């Protein structure tokens, strides 16, 4: 009985422990994000005319046989095992948007934090293809994140004025990442977007 009790206790603790949220690179502090937000240009959102996801070449090869999606799956997952072709064959992924944990890579999407069409309407329409490619595959800034596929679909092309993560505890981090990406790429924001981001940063 003693042996069973001692071995069961760590298991209970392990099950109760929250899954670690993935931490993309380049997430600024709240104070830095607020400063960056104040510096962003507020403008009416541009036209969707001419937009196509194909204008943002994504999931390009990063090294060897590994493309951007596979690199992010490895980065954001736990105990991820990859095949010789770099496909994730096992592991677990905690989605910070909704708190769900998945053990099949097929249940996980790589979200473009600032959606490609939002970027198009806030400045990227005038970019070169090379710059749009860099934006769509950015592993240096917090632009890519492994999340539950259905949540990514529900987000669609929405900005924070129209969509926020189901987990309110993630508002702070989400807003910090959004502001960082828009700042790095000199993208504009709408007044409604700025208001939503301000409210979200106030939860930090």
Provide DSSP, 18-78: PPPPP--TTPPPHHHHHHHHHHSPB------TT--GGGS--S-EEETTEEHHHHHHHHHEE
Q: Note the pLDDT of residue 117.
A: 98
62 within some domain: yes
Among 140, 174, 144, 188, residue whose Cα is nearest residue 26: 140
d(CA 189, CA 193): 6
Number of domains in the chain: 1
8 within some domain: no
78 within some domain: yes
20 within some domain: no
Q: Note the pLDDT of residue 76.
A: 96
Query: pLDDT digits over 10-56, tens only?
Result: 333 333 334 567 779 999 999 999 999 999 999 999 999 999 999 99
Q: Note the pLDDT of residue 4.
A: 39
Question: Which residue range(s) make up the domain with 74?
Answer: 26-201
Residue 108 contacts residue 34 (beta carbons within 8 Å): no
7 within some domain: no
Q: What is the pTM of this model?
A: 0.89
Q: Note the pLDDT of residue 22.
A: 74
Q: Note the pLDDT of residue 23.
A: 79
Q: Note the pLDDT of residue 5.
A: 37
Q: Note the pLDDT of residue 20.
A: 65
Residues of the chain scoring pLDDT < 70: 1-20
109 within some domain: yes
71 within some domain: yes
Q: Note the pLDDT of residue 19.
A: 58
Under DSSP, the state recorded for 161 is T
């Amino acid at each position: 009985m003693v042996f069973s009790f001692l071995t069961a206790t760590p298991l209970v603790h392990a099950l109760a422990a929250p899954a670690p949220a993935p931490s993309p690179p380049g997430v600024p502090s709240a104070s830095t994000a607020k400063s960056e937000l104040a510096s962003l240009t507020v403008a009416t959102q541009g036209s969707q005319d001419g937009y196509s996801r194909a204008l943002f070449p994504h999931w390009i090869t990063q090294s060897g046989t590994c493309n951007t999606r596979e690199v992010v799956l490895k980065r954001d997952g736990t105990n991820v095992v990859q095949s010789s072709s770099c496909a994730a064959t096992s592991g677990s992924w905690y989605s910070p948007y909704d708190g769900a944990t998945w053990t099949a890579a097929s249940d996980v999407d790589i979200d473009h934090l600032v959606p490609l069409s939002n970027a198009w309407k806030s400045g990227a329409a005038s970019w070169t293809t090379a710059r749009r490619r860099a934006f769509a595959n950015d592993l240096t800034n917090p632009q890519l994140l492994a999340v539950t596929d259905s949540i990514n679909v529900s987000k669609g092309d929405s900005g924070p004025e129209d969509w926020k993560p189901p987990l309110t505890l993630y508002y702070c981090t989400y807003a910090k990442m959004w502001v960082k990406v828009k700042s790095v790429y000199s993208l504009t924001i709408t007044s409604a977007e700025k208001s939503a981001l301000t409210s979200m940063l106030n939860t930090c």
